Amino acid sequence: MSKSLPSTLADGEVNSMTEEVAFTAPLQIWTNDSESSSVGFVTLPAGAAERVAAHELMRRLELGKRRGFGSVKVTARLGASTWDTSVFPQKGREAWFMAVKVAVRRAEGIEEGDPVKLVLELH
């Protein structure tokens, strides 16, 4: 969580020079049988999902293949936390989702249902 992204984007704004996209989405929690196996994630809103899908298509055309599961590598920023991760397409839907680490959720004091503002730098 040590990287820093230089720009600050407004919600829904895209920085095409660095391929960043900003959005706000509610934190969702999927819990298995125990609290220790919960997974936090966000589903990208339509505008952000379209931008990620277009980026993935361009990368696939450039490289001639898809990344695993059709994912896109990103550097994510939420509040003061920054980390490298991937966003994944949801099978059968035109939506994308991204996990939010437990350490980030704790550091930023966010819980299920909280709106979280994320900035993603697409790689």
- pLDDT band with cut points at 50, 70 and 90 for residue 6: very low
How many CB atoms neighbour CB 68 within 10 A? 7
- 37-94: per-residue pLDDT in tens? 688 999 999 999 999 999 999 988 887 877 788 899 999 999 999 999 999 999 877 8
Q: Which domains does the chain have, with CATH numbers?
A: 19-122 (2.40.30.100)
Q: Classify each residue of 26-47 as buried b or exposed e, where b means 16 or more C-beta atoms within 10 Å of its C-beta.
A: ebeeeeeeeeeeeebebebbee
- pLDDT band with cut points at 50, 70 and 90 for residue 5: very low
Rounded to whole angstroms, the Cα distance separating 72 from 86 reads 5
